[in-house]
Structure 1
Amino acid sequence: IRTRHWRRLGTIENSFREGGDSRSRDTSWQRIITCAVLGVTGSLIAGFLVLHQSGDGMVVLAAQDETLDHRFYQVPCSEDYNNHRRFAGCTPRRCGRAVSDAVITRQEAEKMLRVAEAGFSLGGSDGGASILDLHSGALSMGKHFVNMYRYFGEKLHEILTEEDFQLYRELRLRIQSEIARTFNINASSLYLTKPTFFSRMNSSAAKTTHDEYWHPHIDKVTYGSFDYTSLLYLSDYSRDFGGGRFVFIDTVSNSTVEPKAGRLSFFTSGSENLHHVEKVQWGTRYAITISFTCDPDHSIEDPTWM
């Protein structure tokens, strides 16, 4: 991993002046050196185990059974950003990927899961991937999309409430602040951008290209406006579904974030973070993709209940 930093063990020189019991001094230093080496070695092994937990050779950046306050992996910024307009205090200068289980609570994620399930109960794709966009109203329906606000009208009031939208907005602001803090940028320079949406993935065979979520891609290339991408997971890898891990495609070894309800994963959107989602093998995977841009011309408003 390019972001792994191994500390080099320094040389401990044993220079004694004449006089005294040299054997005693040698024994004392030997114990100190042994303890130091064992301590550092233990730390290195612990770090190695954290990054090597997958049986298929995948480097695990965040395992489902871990609870992480904040974990950041820095990677060199790609040259993509040189080909786009730069925005002071926002365009990435420090690139990488981060994971936190401390920004959103599991209870809040469960509430968002109920919102997703309520929305998808109105439609859903015939294939393995369904989209629900509260901002534009886009909802997967068979092999197509409908605008749920126009299509269902007042019926939506029976399943989605203003409290649901309010929580959604609160979580978005919290995520925006965490991204700004991690990448040392100004939160007010970040703007919500499209597409920002709920996703539901299962093992159904793809019916259209919209269902083929597993292809590697770069968000900055695919969507243009993206500068920072975040995912809030609403279900648990290995409990609610199998497969479906988020995979960063790296030169030496691919690395993965295992979804966990309430887990926030976010990263800079350039080619330094080429990625894909594994095919879901069983069960149902829920998440929210919340995307941010530095360009105010590509900003969108928070969804409100009309």
Structure 2
Amino acid sequence: MAQDVKYKKKQEAKLQNTSSKNEDDASKPVPLRYGPLPKLKGQRIFSRIVVVISVLTYAWFFSPTQNNKKETALALQGYVYQSRGQSVKCDRAYLEDINKYPGCIPKKCARMINDEIVTQSEADILLWFAKRAMSFAKPKGGVTIMDLHSGALTYEDSFINIYKTSEQGFVTTRDLFIYRDVRNKIQKSIALAFNLDVTKLYLTHPTFFSRMTNKEPQNIHDEYWHPHVDKDTYDSFHYTSLLYLSDHNIDFVGGRFIYQDNLQNPKENVTVEPRKGRVSFFTSGAENPHFVERVTEGERYAITISFTCDETKKIADPFDAVQHAHPVH
């Protein structure tokens, strides 16, 4: 009996010591797994600032819309569009000028693309013709220009005439026939899209083939990536069209056609990815400032075909002009 009492007291004492030790342990700080937290209010604020700056820095460098510019794709290379466009408010100076020409006033200003105007066969023939002709070029920079009307072809710091070279036979009647047919189809499509009288729309200068590469520029004409307005550069322009002869991200990298919402303070870009046979056209006033993104790899081929409403600024179809001045077979 006495032994039982003694054992019971011993157990109670042991429990009391254990409880006291647990209380002492609970009062001690628990070591943090990843180091101490900031103890001062200023330290916590500083930590939060660092996190915010890190997030903003990541967003700046990895966001596709840097410099606070929104970017929208009007046409992607991998899609085929029967007709797709975006209306824009006409520039006042453009309207004042074009209102002089009844039958050639657009029902709205816009930028349009269409992948079903030109066939792949037509695009292939024109591309092959451009490559043949440009094999005689000798550009110093990354841009080669060939004007089918005048025969001018980039050669070092000047031009040569492709119709007067010692090499003959690379301009064929078929090439000129295809060019004329394609030009007519584009002209009719522009008239239809903008509700124009097609007989009041005339081909104008310059109209040319272009090849762009990543070669370093040697003069201002090689720097095609500067935003501009066609009507400011060429007063005769009222409608601009481009026919692409190569594919974005297949034949070349970079080289997208980019519209801006404003030339002076752009905040939104609208992009067109070139696709072989794709036609892009637009009103040529300040409502459509644009530039071409720098080509970083490959070769980008296209044709610029321009139209005017001013009959005094029209030029002859190259087939008729070339056949008269330099007969080809």
TM score, norm. by length of structure 2: 0.73
> Residue 64 in 1 paired to residue 65 in 2?
no
> Residue 287 in 1 paired to residue 287 in 2?
no
Other-structure match for 1:246: 257
Other-structure match for 2:93: 80
Q: What is the Cα deviation at residue 91 of structure 1?
A: 3.1
CA distance in structure 1 between the aligned counterparts of 2:97 and 2:87, rounded to whole angstroms: 21
- Of 74-83 and 191-200, deviating more is 74-83
Alignment of 1:47-58 (within 5 A): 55-56=64-65, 58=71
Choose which of 196, 215, 240 in structure 1 pairs with 2:226.
215
Amino acid at match of 2:297: W
Change (3 A) 1:297 1:285: same
Q: Summarize deviations over 1:243-265 as a string: whole Å, max 9, x none.
A: 10000011541111000000000
Q: What is the Cα deviation at residue 92 of structure 1?
A: 3.2
Q: Summarize deviations over 1:167-186 as a string: whole Å, max 9, x none.
A: 00000000000000000001
> Residue 182 in 1 paired to residue 196 in 2?
no
Alignment of 1:205-284 (within 5 A): 205-250=216-261, 251-284=266-299
Contact 2:94 2:286 in 1 (8 A): no
Q: Please give the secondary structure, in 2, of the residue aligned with 1:168.
A: helix
Contact 2:118 2:278 in 1 (8 A): yes
CA distance in structure 2 between the aligned counterparts of 1:252 and 1:207, rounded to whole angstroms: 30
Amino acid at match of 2:103: G
Amino acid at match of 1:262: G
Alignment of 1:152-171 (within 5 A): 152=165, 155-157=167-169, 159-171=170-182
CA distance in structure 2 between the aligned counterparts of 1:204 and 1:58, rounded to whole angstroms: 27
Other-structure match for 1:197: 208
Amino acid at match of 2:72: V
Amino acid at match of 1:283: G
Other-structure match for 1:119: 133
CA distance in structure 1 between the aligned counterparts of 2:300 and 2:276, rounded to whole angstroms: 10
Q: What is the Cα deviation at residue 90 of structure 1?
A: 0.3
Q: What is the Cα deviation at residue 156 of structure 1?
A: 3.0
Other-structure match for 1:4: none
CA distance in structure 1 between the aligned counterparts of 2:243 and 2:285, rounded to whole angstroms: 19
Q: What is the Cα deviation at residue 73 of structure 1?
A: 0.9
CA distance in structure 1 between the aligned counterparts of 2:223 and 2:107, rounded to whole angstroms: 32
CA distance in structure 2 between the aligned counterparts of 1:249 and 1:124, rounded to whole angstroms: 33
TM score, norm. by length of structure 1: 0.79
CA distance in structure 2 between the aligned counterparts of 1:238 and 1:55, rounded to whole angstroms: 17
Amino acid at match of 1:69: Q
Q: What is the Cα deviation at residue 108 of structure 1?
A: 1.2
Q: Please give the secondary structure, in 2, of the residue aligned with 1:254.
A: strand
Other-structure match for 2:110: 96
Q: CA RMSD in A?
A: 1.4
CA distance in structure 1 between the aligned counterparts of 2:183 and 2:233, rounded to whole angstroms: 22
Point out where structure 1 has 5 or more consecutive residues left out of the alignment: 1-53
CA distance in structure 2 between the aligned counterparts of 1:215 and 1:83, rounded to whole angstroms: 26
Contact 1:92 1:227 in 2 (8 A): no
Contact 1:242 1:281 in 2 (8 A): yes
Q: Summarize deviations over 1:54-91 as a string: whole Å, max 9, x none.
A: 94452110000010000021111011224426200103
CA distance in structure 2 between the aligned counterparts of 1:211 and 1:277, rounded to whole angstroms: 11
Other-structure match for 1:302: 317
Contact 2:74 2:85 in 1 (8 A): no
Q: Rg: which structure is higher?
A: 2
Amino acid at match of 1:301: A
CA distance in structure 2 between the aligned counterparts of 1:100 and 1:106, rounded to whole angstroms: 13
Q: Please give the secondary structure, in 1, of the residue aligned with 2:242.
A: strand
Q: What is the Cα deviation at residue 105 of structure 1?
A: 1.3
